[in-house]
Structure formats: structure tokens, C-alpha cells
Chains A and B, each alone.
Chain A
Amino acid sequence: MNSEHAIITDQLTKSFGSFTAVDHISFEVKRGEIFGFLGANGAGKTTAMRMLCGLSKPTSGSATIAGFDIYKDTEKIKTKIGYMSQKFSLYEDLTVKENIRFFGGIYGLSNKALKLQTNKLIDTLGLESQSGKLVASLPLGWKQKLAFSVAVIHEPSIVFLDEPTGGVDPITRRQFWDLIYEAAQRGITIFVTTHYMDEAEYCDRVSMMVDGKIAALDSPEKLKLKYNVESMDDVFYHLARAAKRGE
């Protein structure tokens, strides 16, 4: 097992009946890397990510997350990862502070650490005046930033972000990515799915999923060079056009 790698998958497959959502994918994600996981809707991104998080059991193949096997060590993996889902998933009827303390608490942070982290987080996000307000009253951009900060509150080895910036304006998206860079600098591996190709440019490496398989995997620069195009948008079109699965 290579300790340089945060995620290793080997022939990982998930079938639902006769439909193979994820088809024998093999890839590695290095520690501390920002790894973009791209693909059209229905390409199998979310299913693959759910298997890596332990939310879905693979049909076949193997994978290790932070050095732990996804079949045998699910409990150990859980303490090593953070997860932020497509849907906004903080509790709207709890205040900012209560949400932070709750999620910190279920990750087993001590009271002292919890207090420290809560204050630090509120300070970093500039939410001092909002900390006692219900999350429901925050604008979407703030919620997403808060959700990300909560997902990494326990300093996981890897954080999985499932389309974290959906529906967020460009400025907030930029700020969101600042948070991602910051976390990556602290050594947290970022595994992110997105539909925004400008975000793909921010990643160290990206993979493109087409019809359940990984069609390409490299740094954005090399991919653009390889397909001889100007932007990641064009790379995406080039690859996704070949898809046989409908939306």
C-alpha cells in the first residue's frame, strides 16, 4: 500500500441490475492533491463517489481510502474522511454555532477542541454577527462555505465534495475555492465533482468519466495539450460527445 496515495481504486465497479453505473475504474489520488472528478450527468460520478465514502457497496473491484480497505475498514475510513453533498445538508433550524458544534461533536471532538474550532471557523468565515442566527436565514453562498468548513472540522485526510458550488454566484465560488486551497495546503486531499469547467482548471489533476469509465485523467494543462484545445470546456465537449448514455 502506497502511503503517498490518499485514494487507490482498482477495477471498482457498481452495477444496478444489468446497468453498470461505474465500470471497472482504476485511479489513484495523491495525498494533498486537489482531484477533480468530472463527467456529464449520469456518467457515474456520484455513484463512484458514494462507494468511496462508504455510502454504497461496490459490486466488485477494490479500493483503499487513506490506507484503509473500503470493505473491511469502513469504520476507520469514516473518521478519516469528510463529506459534503450535492444537496445543502446543514440543519436549517439550528444556528450557525449549533451546526458547527453538532457536526464537530459527532466527529468526536473534545469540548475544548470544539470551542476552539467553532470560534476559529466563525472568525475565518467572518460570520461573527451571524453565529447566533438560524442557518436558514443565511444566503446560499454562506451556507456552502459553512458546509465545507463543517465537513473539514475534524481535519480529515480526505474530503469528498459532491458538486459543492451548484447554484452559487461566481464571486462566492471563487471564495469557496479559496477555502479549498487553504484546506489543501493543510494537507487535506480534496476530491471534488463539478460541472463548472473553470473550476476544473483549479484542480491539480482531473479525471473525466464517460459512460461509467474513466476516459481521461491528467492535469488540466496536459489534457488541453493532448486534445489540442484551448480550455477545459473543449476537453469536456471532446470527451463527452462520445458518450452513448443519455442524460
Chain B
Amino acid sequence: MKQFMIFVKKEFKHVFRDSKTLLMLFGLPIVQIVLFGFALSNEIKSADVLICDHANNNYSHEIIHKISASKSFEVKRVTTDHSEIEEAFKQGSAKIAIVIPSDIEDQIFHSTHGSLQVISDASDPNTASTLTSYISNIIMDYKQTLNAGNSPPMQVVPEIRMLYNPTLKGATNFVPGVISLVLLLVCVLMTSVSIVKEKESGSMEILLVSPMNPFTVIISKAVPYFFLSLINLTVILIMSVVLLDMPLNGSIFLLYFESSILILCALSLGLLISNSTDSQQAAMLISLMGMLIPTMLLTGFLFPLENMPLPLQYFANILPSKWYFIIVKSIMIKGLGISAIYKETLILIGMTVLLLFISIRKFKIRLS
């Protein structure tokens, strides 16, 4: 036990004296959160709108006001000249244009099928369809408030509720993704590199010749990264709750428990990689190529898994991050308890046990 503590202390010193490791450890999550939270977002903020207002009365002004009040839009220009629309699209100064007809008042109160024209620049189809649906929502909403007092005309209006994420914020999807990415990356990369480093420098031989149990060596290598990952998790959580208004509806204890399982899983994976290679570069390459890319692409936080071809969907099942992603979303956003995610938890535990078993079997007590 004393040997263990001495070793853990040494590992912490290695981490804290290596500015590159430290930067990687704590810079990575911060950069990721900032990057995904502010720069790489699939939410649309302040899209430029051109409005062609032929009515120019209270109603049309109110519609314009509603649109400009939305965070998604910025009303660039209100005009009455129809030809300006195409010009604006060509110049790229508008993403969407709305034409309000002169009989807007009539249409609101009497017509069953009004015609308010929405024109969008579909050279980017995703943005175009998102913007048009935002606009329709705003118009629908306005129409309903106006009709509230009157007996509504016979019509079926779909009433849409976006559960768990009513404002369709991107953060709810990517924060759990970033957490799993960072935890996996830090644990897999750092453990594999730190073990391979000892092999490369020759100190592993000294340790194996010493009376220290080889498993103690390995476990004490993992301990600092386990704790640092928990700190990392805390940093990400605080940042996402404070900066990105991310909800944290479920039990924090459960979240840390599940995260610990993922960390252990990643540590075992790092151990396995370090057993299979002798150079730091190789360990780094395997960790990055083998972990970062599949995790980014196949966890489901950048691209929905459901849209992928079946083989890829099956492949995603062997990624621990896929299951952890589901777990984190369930806990943070839906506020679910363990009973809802026991299946995913068991899969994660199973993966961890399997990986740990293989890597311990593979670990060479004697170097050759």
C-alpha cells in the first residue's frame, strides 16, 4: 500500500511537470466546449431576413417585430420592392425573404388558406428548411394569439411540443458528446502514453526487476488519470451549465457513477493499447485514430446514428461512447434514474470488464 502511494505520488508529479500533458488535460475540454458551444453549432443564430412588406399596417409591423425579436433572425431590411429579393440572395445579404401581401389583415381573420410567401436560399438545404420552419412557427403562433378570442375557423392545427429541449438548443446534444469524447481521449491517450513512456525510457525494466507488483504499477498509473478525469468532467459540467444553459435534471451522483464506469473502460483500453505497442508515437496514433475518429463520427452527437448505413450502426455498438452518450443524455436532459438506463450501464460495465480482462491477460510481467 505504501509502495502504491509512493507510485501514485510520482505519477502526479509526472503529470504536473509536463506542460504538454497539462495543456492536453485541461485545455482540451475547454477548447471543445467553446468550439462546439459557440463556433460549431448547427443552431441558426441571427440569419439575415429581408422583408417585402406590401401591407405596411399594424399587422405586418407586428409580424416583423415578432421575427426580429427571435434570436434566430435579424431583419436586415424592410422594403416594398420585390426585385430586391433576388438581388439580396445573389449578394448573399439575406438567407430568407418574406413577402407580406397587402391583404394580410383579411387573410388573418377570414381566409382558411392564407398566402404569406417565404422564400429561402436553398443552396444550403439544411439551413433553408430549418429557417422556413422557424418562420412558419412564428407566423402560426401569431395567428393563434390573434384568433384566441374569436371562435376559430374549422381547422386542424398540429400543436408541436419539443420535449426535453423545447428551444432546440444544440448544447443538449453536443455536451454529452463532448464529455464522452474528452473522457475517452484523455484516459486512453494519457494512460497508454504514460505506460509506453516507461517502456521506452527503460524505467519499466527497473520497475519489473523491483519487488513492486506489476499490477500495482499499472493500477497506480491509472489512478491519477481517473481523478483528473473526474475533475475534467466537473469542469465541463460547470461550463456547460453556466455558459451554455445546459440542464442538469437527473442525479449528479448517478452521472458521476456512470462517468466513472466510462473512465475505467477508457483506462482499460489505454492499458490494452500500451501492451500492444512499444513506442509513444504508435500509442498516440492508435489512441487518436482508433478512438477520436470513431468516437466523433459514430457516437451520435455530430451525425445521427439512425441515418447511417446498417453496418456502421452495428459497428457503433462496440463503442463505449455510444452507450455513455445515451446515458448522459438520459440523466442530464431527461432526468431519468438508473432504472431507465440499466441496460446501457450493464453494457458499459461488460465492456470494461472484458477490456480489463484482456489487457491484464496480455500484460507481460516478464518483458520477453
Task: State whether the Cβ of A68 lies closer than 8 Å to any Cβ in chain B.
Answer: no
Task: State whether the Cβ of A50 lies closer than 8 Å to any Cβ in chain B.
Answer: yes
Verify B202–A87 contact, CB threshold 8 A.
Answer: yes
Task: State whether the Cβ of A88 lies closer than 8 Å to any Cβ in chain B.
Answer: yes
**A85 cross-chain contacts in B, Cβ below 8 A:** 202, 205-206
**A193 CA / B174 CA spacing, docked (Å):** 58
**B10 cross-chain contacts in A, Cβ below 8 A:** 91, 94, 98, 102
Contact pick for B203, options A90, A107, A108, CB 8 Å: A90
- The smallest beta-carbon distance between A91 and chain B, in angstroms, is 6
**B203 cross-chain contacts in A, Cβ below 8 A:** 89-91
**B205 cross-chain contacts in A, Cβ below 8 A:** 55, 83, 85, 89
0/1 interface trace, chain B 16-37, chain A, CB 8 Å (1 if under): 0110000000000000000000
Interface residue count on the B side (C-beta < 8 Å)? 23
0/1 interface trace, chain B 334-368, chain A, CB 8 Å (1 if under): 00000000000000000000000000000000111
Interface residue count on the A side (C-beta < 8 Å)? 33
> Assuming A85-B206, A87-B201, is B211 touching A55 (CB within 8 A)?
no
Contact pick for B211, options A50, A78, A101, CB 8 Å: A78
Contact pick for B6, options A82, A86, A90, A102, CB 8 Å: A102
Interface residues of A in 38-70 (CB under 8 A from B): 50, 53-57
**A79 cross-chain contacts in B, Cβ below 8 A:** 211
Task: State whether the Cβ of B82 lies closer than 8 Å to any Cβ in chain A.
Answer: no
Verify A88–B202 contact, CB threshold 8 A.
Answer: yes
- The smallest beta-carbon distance between A80 and chain B, in angstroms, is 9
Task: State whether the Cβ of B61 lies closer than 8 Å to any Cβ in chain A.
Answer: no
Verify A107–B211 contact, CB threshold 8 A.
Answer: yes
**A87 cross-chain contacts in B, Cβ below 8 A:** 201-202
**B366 cross-chain contacts in A, Cβ below 8 A:** 54-57
**A135 CA / B18 CA spacing, docked (Å):** 14
Task: State whether the Cβ of A93 lies closer than 8 Å to any Cβ in chain B.
Answer: yes
Q: List 28 A–B pairs whose Cβ atoms lie within 8 Å, in order of A's numbering.
A: A54-B366, A57-B366, A75-B211, A81-B209, A82-B209, A83-B205, A83-B206, A84-B206, A85-B206, A87-B201, A89-B205, A91-B10, A91-B14, A91-B201, A92-B201, A93-B13, A93-B14, A94-B17, A102-B7, A102-B10, A105-B3, A105-B6, A106-B3, A106-B7, A106-B211, A108-B2, A108-B3, A151-B206
